[in-house]
Amino acid sequence: MAHPLFGAAYYPEHCSAERWSIDARLMQQAGINTVRLAEFAWSRLEPKTGVFDFAWLDKAIDILMAHGIQVILGTPTAAPPAWLIQAHPEILPVNEDGQRAGFGMRRHYCPTQPAFHAATRRIVQAMARHYQQHPAVLAWQIDNELGNITNGIRCHCSSCRTAFQYWLQQRYGSLERLNSLWGTVFWSQEYSAWEQIPTPMRNVRPGSPGSAHNPSLYLDFARFTSESWVQYQQLQVQILRDLCPQHLITHNLMGLFPYINYVKLAQDLDVVSWDNYPRLPTPWSAFKGNWSPSHVAMAHDLMRGLKGRTYWVMEQQAGPSGWGRISPTPLPGEIRLWTLQSLAHGAEAIVYFRWQTCNVGTEQYWHGILPYDGTPGRRYEEICQIGEELQCLDTLVTAAFPAEVAILRSYDALWAFEAQPTAEGLSYDDQIGRSYRAFWRRNVAVDLITEDSSWESYKVLVAPCLFVLREEVSTRLHAWVEAGGTLVLTFRSGVKDAYNRVIDQPLPGALRDLAGVHVIDYTALLPAGAGVPCGGPESLELVIDGTIHRVGADVWMDDLEVKDAEVLGTYRGGPFDGAPTVTLKRIGAGRVIYVGTSLDDRGQALLMNKVLDETGIKPGVPSPDNVEVVRRVHEGTDY
């Protein structure tokens, strides 16, 4: 496999066949060695049920291969054709408002529908049989951005509802057990038949935060839907493994996308890929349009952590983008900047989205490397420059990324906060991002992991707002700290059990002895000026090694009773004036820092410096603001 993989998403079906040789030549000139093909081409590959046409794709692949370009084939299931929907309208997903999607977009399918499974098997088997021996095929991309339903978040059709009820039956065994663990006595929600259990359709006004369903039901439905995507992917993985054992299998994930447990999705893949659009406001992201370089870095690290090694960037933004509106264009040099950042964080492939801008369809405004008329311009020149530079980066691409710090991002916590956002301004990913940024600014390598990963080899584990805490996770945390680990916990930790019930013990629940503190009171904070109570700048004093620093806090304040810990920070003013808020407890060679509020950047930085000093972790090479230095190690040499 050539390193790095360097390429673009290419759509021969969007242009005339005369253009294909011109494109292949331009690609070769730019150093492109890989293209992704066909992930939305179902209607051209199977124009009628069971009638296949691969001739056009064969021809395009032959031309590419003649120019030294290998291909990643997409299975086209993200775009079910009109004939399939006409025959099986039940395939269309139903959103949280009970509305069934219509034909006219993409991703208009429910992952549990038997008719869709049958159609998937047919097209994937046909493609796999046709291309199993093709020398140009390197890998398969399954579907495209699983779970990225545009007209809703999760499917609520009758097939999903029945499957959910069955899933619950397997999980709980009896209705008595489910009723008891969910607390359905509240508001007379006790179930006497599995068929009575609903999916959590919207029951609050549109725009209101969260859901008013039983939180236990909500969390289980989020787990179930995540698993249904994993299973749908497995259906395709199995076919490809059987028919094309020599090909790699990947899927293009979406960084911080919160609705699928990506660790589980990644398990069945050979390599994780993801789609990186630093200048794209994503509806589901905590950062909306405000992607900062540290957020992009964090998304890379999250993707790298899924399989604990290099990953691919399957779509790298290569132009101004948008459906209805066009985002600002990448500035000269910015595509190169994003590419180098991706490589620095561990990407082994860079595939730009897309080769040429398309003049038809929903993505007319989604600009690729080439403009509508296909004439190479400044973006193409930049790609050529990168292509040349990449020749020298061969060694670095697979070099190790040694990290001593991990940040824990839990899907259970994401979903429990989704149901109950808990406080104005509290976003789980924002809390993760604040911790991340403190390390990132000092060029300290961080891995992002979940509670199901192993963290035993790290020196430091930061677990912001570990809202849902399963018993075995708490046991592992205890053992690891006792063995010398440094754990950083924050407010809203240990609040819920595995069933999303608030635990009836002082917070942070099962972690309270480990932290040496009890939360005796708390308050949500409103933004400054919005009323009382609010946090704001200088709302607490942090004493680090004898020096008092005034720092800001917002979102939340815990009032702590310190049982067995050293106080590092106290509130100044506000409802808990003078009470402790940041503590440190030493346990053998290990320690636990508890932070009862959401610190501003300065507070985070001071605290992280303390963590680095205490644990002997060396900060990275110093750099000016927003200049990132990443250390990679290959065969004993530091790069």
Euclidean distance between CA atoms 4 and 2, whole angstroms: 6
215-243 helix and 114-131 helix, angle to the nearest 10 degrees: 30
Q: Does 143 bind ligand GLA (CB under 6 A)?
A: no
Which residue matches tokens 């993707």?
Answer: 303
Buried b (16+ CB within 10 A) or exposed e, 269-301: bebbbbbbbbbeebeebbbeeebebbbbbbbbb
Q: Does 429 bind ligand GLA (CB under 6 A)?
A: no
> Is the peptide bond preceding residue 537 cis, with omega within 30 degrees of 0?
no
Which residue matches tokens 């503590």?
Answer: 583
Q: Does 144 bind ligand GLA (CB under 6 A)?
A: yes
Interface positions, 342-361, toward ligand GLA (CB under 6 A): 353
Amino acid residing at 146:
L
Find the Cα–Cα–Cα–Cα dihedral 433, 205, 107, 226, rounded to 10°. 60
Euclidean distance between CA atoms 403 and 447, whole angstroms: 6
Min dist CB 156 to ligand GLA, Å, is 24
Residue number, nearest CB to ligand GLA: 275
Interface positions, 292-331, toward ligand GLA (CB under 6 A): 315
Known catalytic residue: 628?
A: no
> 96, 143, 145, 554: which one contacts ligand GLA (CB under 6 A)?
145
Nearer to ligand GLA (CB atom), residue 58 or residue 363: 363
Q: Does 424 bind ligand GLA (CB under 6 A)?
A: no
Q: How many residues touch ligand GLA (CB under 6 A)? A: 8
Interface positions, 77-96, toward ligand GLA (CB under 6 A): none
Buried b (16+ CB within 10 A) or exposed e, 441-469: bbbbbbbbbbbebebeebbbbbbbbbbbb
Q: Phi-psi bin for 534: left (phi > 0), alpha (psi -120 to 50), beta?
A: beta
- Say how far residue 354 (Cα) sits from the centre of its chain: 22
Q: Does 13 bind ligand GLA (CB under 6 A)?
A: no
Nearer to ligand GLA (CB atom), residue 11 or residue 576: 11
DSSP state of 606: H
Nearer to ligand GLA (CB atom), residue 361 or residue 484: 361
Min dist CB 353 to ligand GLA, Å, is 6
Q: Are 65 and 135 in contact (CB under 8 A)?
A: yes
Euclidean distance between CA atoms 542 and 536, whole angstroms: 15
Min dist CB 495 to ligand GLA, Å, is 34
Q: Are 332 and 378 in contact (CB under 8 A)?
A: yes
DSSP 373-406: T----HHHHHHHHHHHHHGGGHHHHT-B---SEE
Nearer to ligand GLA (CB atom), residue 315 or residue 412: 315
Min dist CB 136 to ligand GLA, Å, is 22
Min dist CB 381 to ligand GLA, Å, is 23
Residue 422, classed as helix, strand or coil, is coil
DSSP 346-373: TEEEEEEE-SB--SSSTTTT---SB-TT
Nearer to ligand GLA (CB atom), residue 275 or residue 451: 275
Catalytic residue, candidates 145, 382, 418, 628: 145
Min dist CB 101 to ligand GLA, Å, is 17
> 23, 220, 275, 497: which one contacts ligand GLA (CB under 6 A)?
275
Q: Any idea how long the chain is?
A: 639
Nearer to ligand GLA (CB atom), residue 312 or residue 366: 366
Min dist CB 106 to ligand GLA, Å, is 8
Min dist CB 410 to ligand GLA, Å, is 25
Min dist CB 371 to ligand GLA, Å, is 16
215-243 helix and 411-419 helix, angle to the nearest 10 degrees: 140
Min dist CB 517 to ligand GLA, Å, is 44
Nearer to ligand GLA (CB atom), residue 326 or residue 526: 326
Nearer to ligand GLA (CB atom), residue 315 or residue 451: 315
As a whole number of Å, the end-to-end CA separation of the chain is: 22
For residue 461, what are its two tokens? 């584990």
Residue 597, classed as helix, strand or coil, is strand
Q: Are 607 and 438 in contact (CB under 8 A)?
A: yes
Angle at 620 between CA 616 and CA 625, to 5 degrees: 130
DSSP-assigned beta bridge partners for residue 442: none
Known catalytic residue: 145?
A: yes
DSSP state of 503: P
Min dist CB 366 to ligand GLA, Å, is 5
For residue 635, what are its two tokens? 């065969």
Q: Does 366 bind ligand GLA (CB under 6 A)?
A: yes
Residue 219, classed as helix, strand or coil, is helix
Q: For 294, what's the count of Cα atoms within 13 Å in the CB-facing half-sphere?
A: 20
H or E stretch including 557?
strand 547-562
Nearer to ligand GLA (CB atom), residue 315 or residue 348: 315
Catalytic residue, candidates 39, 46, 315, 451: 315
Q: What character string, x for contact with ligand GLA (CB under 6 A) and - otherwise, covers 235-274? A: -----------------x----------------------
Q: Does 363 bind ligand GLA (CB under 6 A)?
A: yes
Nearer to ligand GLA (CB atom), residue 36 or residue 631: 36
Nearer to ligand GLA (CB atom), residue 151 or residue 609: 151
Which is it for strands 580-587 and 566-571: parallel, antiparallel or unpaired?
A: antiparallel
Which residue matches tokens 């590959």?
Answer: 45
Q: Point out which residues bind ligand GLA (CB under 6 A).
A: 144-145, 252, 275, 315, 353, 363, 366
Q: Please identify every residue annotated as catalytic.
A: 145, 315
